[in-house]
Amino acid sequence: MEIIVDHTLSLRAVTVEDTERVFAITDASRSTLREWLPWLDMTTEVQHTRAYIESNIAGYKERKCLSAVILFHGKIVGIAGFNNINHANETVYIGYWLSKGAQGHGIMTKVVHALCQYAFEELQFNKVEIRAAVGNTKSRAIPERLGFVKEGTIRSAEWLYDHFVDHVVYGMLANEWTKTS
């Protein structure tokens, strides 16, 4: 799977060959990413990233998930994709993270837009859902910019190292997407 977003930005299904680079940007962005991602303390060696990638490749083959590297000017700067693909309900759940140096340039908004297009136009799914911690204003800004509907809040949705955080749930339906895109 490859999605060309624009002349500087694309998505490509993650491969085992991406392991070292994904680990390197994870490690370099650890302090920033750790604020909202619960898996950073369990990703301390290249082998941990490799296991994650291999798991996602297997999940992709089983049509359960899709993990893609974000390429900006040809370099990996993050991961985005469908954390879960629910075929029965025609719903995908988008997750994403971006390296510290790549944040603040509008990259993730473009990436999420492209993933929505892929979900609605290629996969012909009915719904895209994004969940983000209530306090994660940067992550929440993306679905809000793209016109997602705030559907509600899930209390104590995720354990984040030493406390629970609530999640805001955003949804976009296929018929709404055609009106906004």
Q: Please give the average per-residue pLDDT across 55-81, as a whole number.
A: 96
pLDDT at position 34: 87
User: pLDDT per residue over 135-163, tens digit each?
Assistant: 999 999 999 999 999 999 999 999 999 99
What mean pLDDT do residues 43-60 have?
95
> Which residues contact residue 52 at a Cβ distance below 8 angstroms, ignoring those fewer than 6 apart?
43
Among 71, 56, 76, which residue's Cα sits nearest to residue 11?
A: 71
Residue 181: predicted pLDDT: 63
Structure tokens at 78: 């993050």
Burial class of residue 144, CB neighbours in 10 A (0-12, 13-18, 19+): middle
Mean pLDDT score across all residues of the chain? 95
Domains of the chain: 2-180 (3.40.630.30)
14 neighbors 25 (Cβ within 8 angstroms): no
Contact residues for 39 (Cβ-Cβ < 8 A; gap 6+): none
The answer on pLDDT for 48 being more than 70 is yes
pLDDT > 80? residue 72: yes
Per-residue pLDDT, averaged over 120-135, amounts to: 97
Specify the pLDDT at position 1: 86
Q: Is the confidence at residue 179, as pLDDT, over 80?
A: no
User: What is the CB-side half-sphere exposure of residue 97 using CA atoms within 13 A?
Assistant: 21
pLDDT above 70 (res 133): yes
